[in-house]
Structure 1
Amino acid sequence: MKRAAVLCGIGAWVPPGVVTNEALSAVMDTTDEWIRTRTGIRERRVVEPGTATSDLAVVAGRRALDSAGVKSADLVILATTTPDHPCPATAPDVAARLGMTGVPAWDVAAVCSGFLYGLATANAFLTGGTAERVLLIGADAFSTILAPNDRSTRPIFGDGAGAVVLRAGESDEPGALGDIVLGSDGSLRDLITIPAGGSRTPLSGPDDPDGYFAMQGKPVFRHAVTRMTAAAQEARRRAGWSAEEVDCLVAHQANYRILQAVAAKLDVPMTRCAVNLDRVGNTAAASIPLALADAAADGQLKTGHRALLTAFGGGVTWGAATLTWPDIPVEGS
């Protein structure tokens, strides 16, 4: 039997601070109705001052290890756009705080596609025989990079972390990953960006407005639907699944209209789509593992179900993957 990466544990965490649409409407030019009708989001979780991405990642990572019934992994991968510091990477700190000092650990930067890029990396190590167990975490504290009064971004994003443990196994086991489809188009890099703060354009000062996250909503919507759909169709084709055989579509939780459009193009009814963005918002790299954990905890995703994952993020990047859901303990976010 072909060697495969098998999902054997999952953990999720969102910070306790809740920001409702009504709270946002009190400090910026927006309303609850405007946000809900355009995004499907009612509220989001945000970190308190002093709480960083690593803090979210450690909790989710520990929960994933507990779910898998293990204490450590052979390597740790952290998908994030909001590292604790520009340098060094955040993953080694997360690994050390989880008791894995000395284990290889690194960050993956693919914005909202980061978890799937990390999944492909973990899959390569496991199927290639270089590792037997991998801890993969998607975590972002996106509220820390948003302009306080930008109504085009602040209502959309929330903070959180989701993690999975993957082990080496066989391709016919529950939890085994199918082929992972990835892609990118750097010519569209300006659609989703923080314009300043890197080597291309340093910050001009602490109040430089180009140091905040920016997004071109309409073209992002169009490209997200197109790329997520195409990647998901290819992953489904490689798995040999029909639309009717997809038990749960777990798409990046960017916007409810995007979810509806992707589901319609894939011929998957919304009743078979994981949706938690209404209460957590767009959590970037944490989006898919959080949605997986919540769907499993709520009973929507059951043992043996066929799950189709797809995402789109800055870069621009995109990806999709398939797996059958294993029988593992799950605690939602």
Structure 2
Amino acid sequence: MMVKVGFVASPLTARSGVYRSARELVSAGRDESLDWQLLLGVSAGAPGGRPADDPEWIVEEHAEPSGLGGVRAQSRRVRDFVEERDLDVVVSLIPQTDMALAIGKTPWIAFTRGLPWPAAGEAKLGKRVAWRTLERAALRRAREVWATTGVLRDDLDLRSPVEIVPAGIAPLERSWDGAGARTNAVWAARFDEDKRPHLFATALQDSGIRGRMFGTGHLQREIAASAPSNVTIEGWAPPSALWEDAFVYVGTSSREAYGRSAVEAAMNGVPVVLASSFGCADQLVSTDEFKRLFVLESADPAAWREAVQRLRDDEDLRRRYSDHLVSNARALTIAASAKAVARRLQELQDRGVLKARR
């Protein structure tokens, strides 16, 4: 008998990457007749809203980040969720849930989707050291730690083994083949230091290219005040709105464990220009030619501007690159990710690391 699994992400401050992928992952597992449940704790300030037709296997409720007291409260809430749903194991999807589970007794697995502590430049040294220390202590209490990509596993730099369990997204219909003129270069991420929004805005300055920036975060107002007139700051938007009239997605993040928006763009046939730090870069861009042109190590705005302008100006290149991306992105589905999760859970059960209580 397969173990009964609860996936938990709480608290979340946005209905973006983890929120969406958690829903898709558990749904894909249930499509395979797996007994998976989901608990989402979402901040009152998160843009968007809960779908009106949520199934009974999703619990979405209000939860706010609130320091160590919040961790203890989350630990109690997860314990109650386990008892309510008669679960055998919990898969944690964010660091705060890791910490909550680490002070409880429920068997759990940490499924890391991004570096779970601030990198240099994202917070003061004391906060970075404290967060890293607490999270590493929590991860030592997990039955196993998973990472979505080799990039993330290397960034974690844990002394214990980390299993690669790939991420994925719901399959999307191709909306463009690169033919004909489009006007928008799209950036979509949190407005935080590690996403380098300034690099996108600066790269498009005096380029004649319209830039659209989607997302929320503490740098949003700063970018809005300094961005050139051809770059608009549009806040949160549903995924379907991102690719309207887009000829390129630009991923400037200095660290990106996976890169969901890049995969969505690729599935749509929209070319991508990515920092080499994107975990999905090697999965999406697999020829030497395209890697040289569109996977960038440089933080020089001129290099990014050149890559974007090349795609705007060369339709044949756009079409070939669009075909290449669509072909590679077809392997990065949420169904494939759910099957990888199920295989790993079965392996752990076969080894006696996890046990079904029923």
Q: Report the TM-score when normalising by structure 1.
A: 0.31
Higher strand share: 1
Higher helix share: 2
Q: Report the TM-score when normalising by structure 2.
A: 0.30
With a CA cutoff of 8 Å and minimum separation of 6, indicate the structure with the bigger relative contact order. 1
Who wins on radius of gyration, i.e. which is larger? 2
